[in-house]
């Protein structure tokens, strides 16, 4: 794949990673991309690099347009190996290029990551970098997705280099939103948002205000496709997700040892359906944690079920609860359920984890060995009650 023009002066020179299936614990069944952008101006400037193993690809794409010795700046929008991973290699071949990073956190991140004292050009909020005809303006967007994050805006062409924000994990030979369609791409962006940004909604809202104030024509994220047609749609959806808006959707997330917890899950789901509300069942031994976290983004009700094993929550459920506490899905309602043989405890532990994750716990049910008809009716009733509470 060659360098791909984005606007008159901006070229995509990144890399497509067709084979990645696990991106720091996020399931990526369709791969990903690491987007680097080259701005051709009097002072040619590279926005981000790629994972070190893709350095050769990026180099070839840059060299279609100029020699690495002609690069004036390399902008690091945040220090993480998928974007800054090639910096050390690139610096060997383009030592003249000044590295631009965010003040304090970016400076510290680069120094620690590369154990080097490269001369850096730090940028604060509103910092400007003249490229010749055009200029880049920088906006600090901490925690989107690391503390040093910033965005860069090329006003002359209305291009916002948004770093991780508005990205999707998707390997494709396409580079633009209109080449794949808004519905599909917004679905990809929602799963990415849930796993990366759900813990940082206040910071997302603050960043959105800045982006909406700029009104970019093109939003060029560091992963996935470039928004040139559906920019308003992705901003609208980010607004909805950042406000924590959910819909009447109930997830029943569980694992089972001998089938008892699964029978409870099915009774709960039937209760939700009885009240006309959408429900999804997710068996944690069969699904991917990050895919389920993606569904939590819009779900208003959560049931989490686990058998008790060795006085503990079942391992797959414990792992999922660790993810759930991390993304802190505040504003949802939660119920814990499960079965045990000789001693219980999983249900209380799940309730504690839900509370730690900001979920309002509205109930729990724990049964010994197999659920009786009465206990299954209790599960059904819990499903119905949840459905009534999540309905508008």
Our CB check for ligand FEO shows the closer of 37 and 146 to be 146
Residue 78 annotated among the catalytic residues of the structure: yes
Query: CB-wise, 11 or 197, nearer to ligand FEO?
Result: 197
Q: Tell the residue number behind the tokens 């006309």, with chain if given.
A: 276
Q: Closest Cα partner for 198 from 234, 240, 235, 233? A: 240
Least distance CB 189 / ligand FEO (angstroms) = 13
Instruction: Tell me how far, at minimum, the Cβ of 194 lies from ligand FEO, in Å.
Output: 15
Question: Minimal distance in Å, beta carbon 335 to ligand FEO?
Answer: 33
- The residue (of 12 and 314) whose beta carbon lies closer to ligand FEO is 12
* Catalytic residue, candidates 17, 48, 82, 385: 82
Q: Which structure tokens are listed for 203? A: 């910071």
Between 73 and 78, whose beta carbon lies closer to ligand FEO?
Answer: 78
Rounded CA separation 367/260 (Å): 9
- If the CB atoms of residues 123 and 387 are measured against ligand FEO, the closer one turns out to be 123
145 upstream amide cis, omega within 30 of 0? yes
25 catalytically annotated: no
- CA 139 – CA 128 distance, rounded (Å): 10
How far apart CA 138 and CA 136 sit, in angstroms, is 7
Binding residues (CB under 6 A) for ligand FEO: these are 78, 80, 82-83, 145-146, 164, 222-223
Half-sphere exposure of 12 (CA within 13 A, CB side): 25
Does the annotation mark 24 as catalytic?
Answer: yes
**C-beta of 31: minimal distance to ligand FEO in Å?**
14
Distance in angstroms (rounded) separating the CA atoms of residues 164 and 159? 15
Instruction: Report, in Å, the least distance between residue 12 CB and ligand FEO.
Output: 15
The 8-class DSSP code of residue 65 comes to T
Cα distance between residue 43 and residue 136, in whole Å: 11
Where does residue 108 rank: exposed (0-12), middle (13-18), buried (19+ CB within 10 A)? middle
Instruction: Give the C-alpha separation, 121 to 133, whole Å.
Output: 20
Do the Cβ atoms of 186 and 233 come closer than 8 Å?
A: yes
Asked if 82 is an active-site residue, the reply is yes
Catalytic residue set: 24, 78, 80, 82, 145, 164, 192, 223
């Amino acid at each position: 794949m060659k360098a791909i023009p984005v606007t008159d002066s901006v070229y995509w020179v990144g890399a497509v990673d067709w084979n990645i299936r696990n991106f720091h614990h996020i399931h990526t069944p369709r791969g990903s991309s690491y987007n680097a952008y080259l701005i051709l101006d009097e002072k040619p400037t590279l926005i981000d690099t790629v994972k070190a193993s893709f350095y050769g690809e990026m180099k070839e794409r840059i060299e279609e347009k100029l020699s690495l010795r002609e690069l004036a700046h390399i902008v690091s929008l945040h220090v993480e190996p998928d974007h800054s991973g090639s910096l050390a290699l690139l610096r060997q071949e383009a030592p003249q290029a000044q590295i631009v990073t965010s003040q304090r956190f970016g400076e510290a991140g680069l120094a620690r990551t590369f154990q080097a004292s490269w001369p850096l050009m730090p940028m604060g909020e509103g910092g400007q970098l003249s490229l010749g005809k055009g200029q880049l303006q920088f906006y600090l967007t901490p925690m989107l997705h690391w503390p040093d994050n910033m965005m860069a805006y090329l006003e002359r062409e209305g291009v916002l280099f948004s770093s991780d924000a508005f990205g999707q994990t998707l390997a494709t030979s396409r580079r633009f939103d209109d080449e794949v369609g808004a519905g599909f791409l917004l679905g990809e962006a929602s799963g990415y948002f849930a796993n990366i940004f759900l813990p940082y909604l206040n910071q997302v809202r603050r960043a959105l205000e800045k982006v909406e104030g700029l009104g970019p024509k093109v939003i060029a994220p560091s992963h996935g496709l470039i928004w040139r047609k559906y920019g308003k749609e992705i901003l609208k959806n980010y607004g909805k997700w950042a406000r924590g808006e959910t819909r009447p959707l109930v997830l029943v997330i569980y694992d089972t040892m001998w089938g008892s917890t699964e029978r409870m899950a099915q009774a709960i789901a039937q209760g939700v359906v009885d009240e006309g509300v959408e429900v999804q069942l997710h068996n944690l031994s069969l699904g991917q944690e990050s895919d389920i976290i993606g569904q939590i983004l819009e779900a208003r009700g959560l049931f989490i079920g686990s058998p008790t094993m060795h006085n503990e929550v079942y391992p797959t459920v414990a792992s999922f609860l660790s993810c759930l506490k991390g993304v802190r899905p505040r504003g949802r309602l939660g119920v814990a359920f499960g079965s045990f043989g000789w001693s219980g405890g999983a249900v209380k532990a799940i309730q504690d984890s839900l509370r730690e994750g900001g979920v309002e716990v509205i109930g729990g049910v724990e049964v010994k060995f197999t659920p009786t008809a009465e206990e299954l009716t209790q599960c059904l009733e819990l499903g119905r009650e949840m459905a009534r509470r999540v309905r508008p």
